[in-house]
Amino acid sequence: MPPPTPHEDRVHSEQFLHTLMRRQLKLSIACAAAFLVVLLGLPVANYLAPQLMATRVFGFTLTWLLLGVLFFPAVWAISWIFIRRSIWLEEDEVRSVKSLGEDR
């Protein structure tokens, strides 16, 4: 096995991992907050606007339309954004480490 190149050593360094984990923590908190808004928004909307939530849309009350039809696509969208952004963060960190190695 050939010796690792200098940028590969920095990719596995503590600083690299710390920076990546901090950025992914921020992403995780943002996605969790979005999920909580989606999850808790329905009961709050039912409490604050019961007449609106009882409105019929496509044969469903608005409450059931949001809960039974739109909730899961919203969760899938949050998950998809999290995964895509997480992969992008990892690739961005590797690119920044590689560019630092080329500057030297």
Mean pLDDT score of the chain? 87
Q: What is the pTM of this model?
A: 0.74
61 φ, ψ (degrees, to nearest 5): -70, 155
For residue 17, the tally of other CB atoms under 10 A from its CB is: 12
Domain positions in the chain: 27-103
The percent of residues above 70 in pLDDT, for the chain, comes to 85
| pLDDT tens profile 56-104 | 999 999 999 999 899 999 999 999 999 999 999 999 988 888 887 666 5
- CA trace torsion 41, 47, 48, 51 (10° rounding): 110
